[in-house]
Structure 1
Amino acid sequence: MSICILVIEDEPGIADFLLRGLTEEGYVVSHAADGNHARLRLQIETWDLIILDWWLPGEDGLQLLKRFRQRDRSTPVLFLTARDGVSERVKGLDSGADDYLTKPFSFEELLARVRSLLRRQGQADSIHLEYAKIRIDLTQQRATREGAPIDLTAKELSLLSMFLRNPEQVLSRTRIYKSVWDENFDGLSNTLEVHIKDLRRKLEKYGPRVIHTRRGQGYVLELQRVDE
């Protein structure tokens, strides 16, 4: 079953960042850009998690939260705001928020908080990526192949996640660097090659090679061998 998240955020850049990132993690994500639209969606739709900004056009996040909690006491709400004073955090939590994250924030921390809130609701067990009996449990951040656990570093896990989200698609070195390292590929570093080599070695303990090199293009995750 898919996990449905409503992001209530009026800043387009932040909203787009959250929608893309959470969708890539396997969640079904919707967006409301102002308090009035958000109030309507909260009234007529059911959500597994809500990410809520404080400052919004129309009804602000605090008022939305108070109104929402009058009829829904269980759906987890993560407050996401630039208001970082102790009194604001207390006010947000006392109004019904389950967690509070201040801007600017790292996506990794937000994702960890999302997983934690979903675990409390018993909603996170089904979130996973899988191809050719290689599986990543996104909640536990654990990888397996043929059911056997694979001990991966954080970067190896991110790299494998990217391949599993894009099976049988050639991924350029530039795209991988930007996604996994958040850097532009300079053409000189061998960081990616070293990580690919280590990831292959760990995966191939339990089956044939599935990460292949496409000369001049990049890498691809697929069952059949391609030109290397």
Structure 2
Amino acid sequence: MRILLIEDEAKLASFLKKGLEEQGYCVSVESNGSKALETAAVNQFDLILLDIMLPGQNGFEVLKNLRDFSVNTPIIFISALSESDHVIRGLDLGAVDYIKKPFDFEELKARIRNVARKFTSERASVLKVEDLVIDLINREVNRSGQAINLSKREFSLLQLLMNNANRVVSKTEIIDKIWDVQFDMSSNVVEVHMHQLRKKVDSDFAKKLIETKIGYGYRILGSLEKR
């Protein structure tokens, strides 16, 4: 899951980013409402965590403008404004949840999981290509019934490839959808992760599913089933 955290309190933003990344999420951070609006409009995120008291534009304005731009990414407000009218306004504008500061990090994680379950259920929770199966809710992968342990990035890479089965996914698209928006394009980190992923998914099996198209990108071969 790719999360945009919009929070101008640097210490809290750093804590949340670190904690969420340890849970396997890819987290980008913005501290200015106007800049965050631009980032959310031109990049694809699965969830936005949005403070209200922000420089540039406040959280209510950011949410309203995102919806005006037809950006329908689920949004959870995280704010010290705890009065009922603020909560009601945030939910009426289209937020899926509202968490009052200070909050317990475990509660935040649970609310994020709840959003993931709700919105994933509208699509698919399990992807299958040939004998390779990925459980998006429990974050489990197996091939021919054999469990495969993947890192957080490797899991996201595999999910992206499986959702685009038989289509070549470019390095640029991989970076855009999985890595932080500040990613260094000259880095070979994508190639390193893809090498590790192929070793884990293909090395012990006669049929190879992941293919490198030199100069273009990567693809996984086979019919995709979703459920």
TM score, norm. by length of structure 2: 0.54
2:28 alignment partner AA: S
Instruction: Name stretches of at least 5 consecutive residues in structure 2 with no aligned partner.
Output: 127-134, 153-227
- What percentage of aligned pairs have identical amino acids? 42
Question: Are the aligned partners of 2:76 and 2:98 in contact in 1 as well (CA < 8 Å)?
Answer: yes
Counterpart in the other structure of 1:54: 52
Residues 52 and 23 of structure 1, relative CA distance in 2, 3 Å threshold: same
2:13 alignment partner AA: A
> Any residues of structure 2 matched to 1:82-93 within 5 Å, and which?
82-93=80-91
> Any residues of structure 2 matched to 1:121-140 within 5 Å, and which?
121-122=119-120, 125=125, 139-140=137-138
Question: Are the aligned partners of 1:115 and 1:124 in contact in 2 as well (CA < 8 Å)?
Answer: no
Counterpart in the other structure of 1:23: 21
Higher relative contact order (CA 8 A, sep 6+): 2
Instruction: Name stretches of at least 5 consecutive residues in structure 1 with no aligned partner.
Output: 127-136, 149-163, 166-228
Counterpart in the other structure of 2:7: 9
How far is 1:74 from its partner? 3.3
- Name the CA distance, whole Å, in 2 between partners of 1:38 and 1:17: 19
How far is 1:24 from its partner? 0.5
How far is 1:124 from its partner? 9.0
Shift >3 Å, 4+ stretches: 123-126, 137-142
Residues 27 and 125 of structure 1, relative CA distance in 2, 3 Å threshold: farther
- Name the CA distance, whole Å, in 1 between partners of 2:124 and 2:11: 27
- Name the CA distance, whole Å, in 1 between partners of 2:73 and 2:117: 12
Question: Are the aligned partners of 1:8 and 1:38 in contact in 2 as well (CA < 8 Å)?
Answer: yes
Question: Are the aligned partners of 1:23 and 1:29 in contact in 2 as well (CA < 8 Å)?
Answer: yes
TM score, norm. by length of structure 1: 0.54
Count of residues in Structure 1 that have an aligned counterpart in Structure 2: 144
> Any residues of structure 2 matched to 1:1-228 within 5 Å, and which?
3-72=1-70, 74-122=72-120, 125=125, 139-140=137-138
